[in-house]
């Protein structure tokens, strides 16, 4: 904190996760001064906070990593196909050391306000403890899943045992041996931790509101030969990834699922189920746009659940039917469905027996009282807009961002928003980000944003701002693209439906990373079309 610069830097960056770290590196390379502010005492962002048992990436580590530096990708050895949180965090610490980034980061500083002053064309950032910093540009690298969401359950505060949220898991870990544990949430976090909680707890009660579609990770240690093969061809692998909608090579089949008969379709689904991870998503081009194609893959997954879970009643309750397959990001698990064959695990279906209240000693549903020693909340996040919404951002004329976005966020390309000059968002609403390999999206955003800033400064410009018109067009385009898919049908954090009172909008851009990146490049090549440069 003592190192807060009282002068004006070129760029202020908020957040020191994957996005913030690369921003610092790139800005330095462009000869610009930058200061980054981070709430946590260390780098890592989402990988700093999410320490729950089983936390790991759902994109292969060799792809869920920076591509910008050949030396880095050659030197770093991932130990597993999907690395666990401690390894991803070590990687980000390594990146911070390797590129000497820590000296530009002010840790333990939560930014609570960012105000633009038109006269000086600068942003002033305010920290929670009175810190102040001024910068010509402000880049929000605040993350899409960084504000944990607790469930609205009456009595939660009265529970006498410990309550842990997945995204605020204690650094020391938690000893659950011999304890009766209840877990709320069967999204990605719940699905990853439930098998491990079941191994530790004397009894595990899973309170499920909506079942997830979960795909087998087929996680394994990466043998030296496998890793060497990736590294031999790393540049090409990255190049191919950048041509895909998801920022990772899923060996996507351009054909429709309806072009082939049921037997061939099933064989293709089965082949990809064996490969594991998101491979199934690439089976046919219309899985996320055609109801019948989607119905076929959804039923295939439900068959795998019924095949794995021995009690048919439990299996049926674990089968998702409430939303199309893939319209919530599928989970990638190790042993999730098998866990429900254990004697010490019980599934409570909250659609049948809703929770009435958390009591001092457990959870009371409409059917019974469950005595518990400890509660785990894997109940997700106020996603995509949550972190930004907690900062008092004011643009031209002192206008608050919250007012502008009262009916839902509006951006141009997910990167900028009209009325807020010199403000950029990394993986903001209206960008493909959360539908893709996040690191690939982050790299594209960081490169575009820093190039734009460098362009403005090189021309002696003071400010750059998205026009209302370009923003309206982008929002209309993003809505039209989403409407051609099944995505908007799910109640999820993609639509804001998991946060009471949040306006319902499909938040990410469903047009895919490759096409989106091309659009962004064309905008830049056209002299930053849709932006007003002053």
Closest to ligand NA7 by CB, 279 vs 422, is 279
**Which tokens hold the place of 528?**
């930053």
Please count the other Cβ atoms lying within 10 Å of the Cβ belonging to residue 459: 11
Residues 174-203 as b/e (b if ≥16 CB within 10 A, e otherwise) read bebeebbbbbbbbbbbbbbbbbbbbeebeb
Closest to ligand NA7 by CB, 300 vs 494, is 494
Minimum Å gap between C-beta 177 and ligand NA7 is 24
Closest to ligand NA7 by CB, 493 vs 528, is 493
Binding site for ligand NA7 (CB under 6 A): 145, 151-153, 166, 184-190, 207, 209-210, 329, 350, 378-380, 493, 498
Minimum Å gap between C-beta 57 and ligand NA7 is 9
Closest to ligand NA7 by CB, 166 vs 450, is 166
By the 8 A CB rule, do 500 and 507 touch? Answer: no
Minimum Å gap between C-beta 5 and ligand NA7 is 34
Q: Report which DSSP code applies to 221.
A: B
Closest to ligand NA7 by CB, 326 vs 430, is 326
Minimum Å gap between C-beta 491 and ligand NA7 is 7
Residue 394, Ramachandran bin (φ over 0: left; ψ between -120 and 50: alpha; else beta): beta
Please count the other Cβ atoms lying within 10 Å of the Cβ belonging to residue 170: 10
Closest to ligand NA7 by CB, 471 vs 498, is 498
Calpha distance 383→343 (Å, rounded): 35
Minimum Å gap between C-beta 323 and ligand NA7 is 9
Of 345, 323, 293, nearest to 212 by C-alpha is 323
By the 8 A CB rule, do 31 and 138 touch? Answer: no
- When CB distances to ligand NA7 are compared, the closest residue is 187
Of 125, 98, 118, nearest to 12 by C-alpha is 125
Calpha distance 339→194 (Å, rounded): 8
**Which tokens hold the place of 358?**
């958390």
Minimum Å gap between C-beta 128 and ligand NA7 is 25
Residues in the chain: 534
Minimum Å gap between C-beta 332 and ligand NA7 is 9
Closest to ligand NA7 by CB, 106 vs 189, is 189
């Amino acid at each position: 904190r003592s190192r807060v610069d009282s002068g004006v830097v070129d760029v202020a960056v908020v957040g020191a996760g994957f996005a913030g770290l690369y921003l610092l590196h790139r800005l330095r390379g462009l000869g610009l001064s930058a200061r980054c502010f981070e709430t946590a005492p260390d780098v890592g962002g989402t990988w700093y906070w999410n320490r729950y048992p089983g936390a790991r990436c759902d994109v292969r580590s060799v792809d869920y990593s920076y591509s910008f530096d050949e030396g880095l990708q050659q030197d770093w050895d991932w130990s597993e196909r999907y690395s666990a949180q401690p390894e991803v965090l070590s990687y980000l610490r390594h990146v911070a050391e390797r590129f000497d980034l820590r000296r530009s980061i002010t840790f333990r500083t939560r930014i609570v306000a960012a105000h633009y002053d038109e006269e000086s064309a600068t942003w002033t950032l305010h920290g929670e403890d009175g810190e102040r910093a001024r910068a010509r540009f402000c880049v929000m690298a605040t993350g899409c899943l960084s504000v944990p969401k607790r469930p609205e359950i009456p009595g939660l505060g009265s529970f006498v045992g410990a309550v842990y949220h997945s995204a605020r898991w204690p650094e020391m870990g938690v000893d659950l041996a011999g304890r009766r544990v209840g877990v709320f949430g069967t999204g990605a976090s719940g699905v990853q931790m439930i098998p491990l909680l079941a191994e530790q707890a004397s009894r595990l009660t899973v309170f499920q509101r909506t079942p997830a579609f979960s795909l087998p990770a087929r996680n394994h240690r990466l043998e030296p030969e496998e890793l060497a093969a990736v590294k031999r061809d790393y540049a090409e692998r990255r190049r191919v990834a950048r041509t895909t909608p998801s920022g990772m090579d899923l060996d996507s089949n351009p054909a429709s699922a309806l072009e082939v008969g049921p037997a061939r379709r099933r064989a293709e689904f089965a082949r990809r189920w064996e490969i594991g991870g998101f491979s199934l998503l690439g089976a046919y081009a219309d899985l996320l746009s055609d109801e019948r194609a989607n119905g076929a893959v959804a039923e295939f997954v439900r068959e795998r659940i019924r095949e794995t879970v021995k009690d048919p009643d439990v299996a049926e309750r674990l089968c998702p039917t409430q939303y199309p397959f893939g319209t919530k990001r599928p989970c990638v698990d190790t042993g999730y469905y098998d866990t429900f064959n254990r004697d010490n695990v019980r599934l409570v279906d909250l659609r049948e027996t809703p929770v009435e209240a958390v009591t001092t000693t457990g959870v009371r549903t409409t059917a019974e009282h469950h005595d518990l020693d400890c509660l785990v909340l894997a109940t997700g996040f106020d996603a995509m807009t949550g972190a930004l919404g907690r900062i008092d951002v004011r643009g031209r004329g002192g206008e608050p961002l919250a007012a502008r976005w009262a009916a839902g966020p509006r951006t141009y390309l997910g990167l900028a928003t009209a009325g807020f000059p010199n403000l950029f968002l990394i993986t903001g609403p209206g960008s493909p980000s959360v539908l893709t390999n996040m690191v690939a999206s982050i790299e594209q955003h960081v490169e575009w944003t820093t190039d734009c800033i460098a362009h403005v400064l090189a021309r002696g410009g003071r400010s750059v701002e998205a026009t209302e018109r370009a923003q309206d067009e982008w929002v209309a385009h993003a809505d039209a693209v989403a409407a051609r898919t099944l995505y908007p049908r799910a109640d999820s954090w993609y639509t804001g439906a998991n946060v009471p009172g949040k306006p319902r909008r499909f938040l990410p851009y469903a047009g895919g990373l490759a096409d989106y990146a091309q659009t962004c490049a064309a905008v830049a090549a056209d002299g930053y079309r849709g932006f007003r440069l002053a």
